[in-house]
């Protein structure tokens, strides 16, 4: 970590599926990167995608899958799990300042925005279809963790934020299934859920301490 950067080195090129700001979709990459920003970094009329691409190029990181986050990157959480010989390593930055409940929208036009950014690396080689299913498991784990953190909104507990992003990385291979009945689905779910819940609880505790300071 070199604030404002947090780097997740996958060790070798992996297929990575995400909707990250830089290199979204299905790509090959060896690193996943978080870039911490403040409101002052992103004025209203800024082309964020172009600014971020330029910033990444200046740091020789244009080939990374890269997130933007307002969370202090030093507050990241990570969990490594193993089930049935398959390992998963989840790294998350979790902020809930623009939390949402699914099916509703809050007005955050005059407030700071937080976000949840999660990357999870699995050890076994996946087909593209299994990678998509793995993304669904990671997303479900994120949602369950945020709900279990019990951050209250006017319409109920939060289920995520308006700017969440998830990246799932795996070697290319022949594993075709990643559902909840599989060891792969279990290990992804456990690592993402645990890292996200830990990060959400830490953020909520920090917020409560600041309110009472």
Q: Cis peptide before 4, with omega less than 30 degrees from 0?
A: yes
Q: Which pLDDT tens digit goes with each residue over 50-77?
A: 999 999 999 999 999 999 999 999 999 9
Architecture of domain 5-212: 4-Layer Sandwich (3.60)
Q: Which pLDDT tens digit goes with each residue over 111-140?
A: 556 799 999 999 999 999 999 999 999 999
* Region of residue 156 (left: phi > 0; alpha: psi -120 to 50; beta: else): left
Q: Domain limits of the chain?
A: 5-212
User: Measuring CA to CA, how many Å separate 53 from each of 14, 62, 66, 155?
Assistant: 21, 7, 10, 37
Model pTM score: 0.94
Question: Residue 193's closest CA among 132, 127, 158, 146?
Answer: 146
CB atoms within 10 A of CB 39: 10
């Amino acid at each position: 970590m070199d604030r404002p950067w947090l780097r997740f080195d996958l060790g070798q090129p992996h297929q990575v599926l995400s909707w990250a700001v830089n290199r979204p979709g299905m790509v090959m990459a060896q690193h996943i990167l978080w870039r911490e920003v403040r409101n002052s970094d992103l004025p209203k009329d800024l082309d964020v995608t172009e600014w971020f691409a330029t910033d990444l190029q200046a740091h020789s990181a244009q080939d990374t899958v890269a997130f933007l986050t307002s969370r202090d990157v030093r507050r990241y959480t990570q969990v490594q799990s193993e089930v049935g010989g398959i390992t998963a390593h989840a790294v998350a930055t979790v902020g809930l300042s623009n939390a949402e409940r699914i099916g509703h929208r809050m007005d955050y036009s005059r407030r700071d925005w937080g976000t949840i950014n999660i990357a999870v690396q699995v050890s076994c080689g996946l087909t593209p279809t299994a990678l998509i299913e793995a993304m669904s498991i990671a997303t479900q784990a994120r949602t369950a963790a945020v709900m279990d953190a019990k951050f209250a909104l006017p319409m109920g507990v939060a289920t995520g934020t308006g700017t969440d992003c998830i990246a799932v990385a795996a070697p290319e291979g022949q594993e075709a299934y990643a559902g909840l009945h599989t060891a792969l689905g279990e290990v992804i779910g456990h690592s993402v859920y645990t890292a996200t819940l830990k990060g959400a609880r830490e953020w909520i505790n920090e917020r409560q301490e600041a309110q009472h300071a």
